[in-house]
Amino acid sequence: LGMQPQFIIIHQQVAPYVAHIQLNRPKELNALNLQLMSELRDALKALDADDTVRAIVISGNEKAFAAGADIKQMADKTAIDMLNIDQFSTWDAIKKTRKPVIAATSGFVLGGGCELAMLCDMIVASETTRFGQPEIKLGIMPGAGGTQRLTRAVGKALAMEMVLTGRMISAAEALQAGLINKVVPVELYLQEAVNLAAEIAEKSPIAVKLAKEAVLKAFDTTLEEGLHFERKNFYLLFASQDQQEGMQAFIEKRPPVFKGK
């Protein structure tokens, strides 16, 4: 990965074919400054290209997944500074990760932190997780997907309330609203996320990649185009050895061994 990152820690093979990236600015509740976000972008790009990785978990620590973009870094910026820095271009790059990314959350998941969790493909939360978009309290609004991804995930009523009041919701409320996949006791949230990643990592990585791509397509296309896209990916998988292995293993009543070919 070249230079050692300062604000993230990368753990390889926390389970077979699973990598874990830990956000590591604990004193600042993992506030997402520009350097942390570029390190995260570079790490995801490298792991996405690494054949020994099939699924990725991103966590913070027990107290905070991330309390948002770094307010101190933004406080004195002008609109033109913000335009030139264009901090969200790193987010566009992160969105291009083709392998599944699971957020393992605990504590504060606020502002850009909530937006980062929503940029992941799934969220496993500890019971102590609090999700929120508190930007309105700072005289700004969400800028990294909070008005769009949150609304699509939980619907207008709750999204509007969260974005306009800044109220935090509990993990239980987030689960009920469809924002997250699972809530577990705080001692277990990271392991649960790794287990989920490991379960996916046993599947054909080619099928996983194309399936993820097709699910995401549902968010920015018509049904007709989405179905067409899905069908192309489905047909494409019949070019893989993994498809032959998966079907042959079923017929022979044995577990498949997927090679990503």
Active site positions, annotated: 69, 112, 115, 135
What H or E segment, with its residue span, contains residue 132?
strand 130-132
Asked if residue 60 binds ligand CAA (CB under 6 A), the reply is: no
Please, which residues have CB within 8 angstroms of residue 223's CB and are 6 or more apart in sequence? none
The window from 9-17, 107-115, 119-127, 220-228 that contacts ligand CAA (CB under 6 A) reads: 107-115
What's the min distance (Å) between Cβ of 110 and ligand CAA?
4
Task: From 142-150, 191-199, 224-232, 243-251, give the range in contact with ligand CAA by CB under 6 A.
Answer: 142-150
Q: Does 128 bind ligand CAA (CB under 6 A)?
A: no
Q: Which listed residue (53, 144, 184, 200) binds ligand CAA by CB under 6 A?
A: 144
The reply on whether position 112 binds ligand CAA by CB under 6 A is: yes
Binding-site member from 72, 156, 253, 254 for ligand CAA (CB under 6 A): 72
How many other C-beta atoms are found inside a 10 Å radius of the C-beta of residue 202?
17
- Are the C-beta atoms of 65 and 109 separated by less than 8 Å? yes
DSSP-derived 3-state class of residue 54: coil
Q: Are 12 and 52 spatial neighbours (Cβ–Cβ below 8 Å)?
A: yes
| Residue 70 found at the interface with ligand CAA (CB under 6 A) | yes
The partner residues of 8 in beta bridges, in order of sequence, read 23
Q: In whole angstroms, how close is the CB of 174 to ligand CAA at the nearest point?
A: 16
Q: Would you call 214 helix, strand, or coil by DSSP?
A: helix
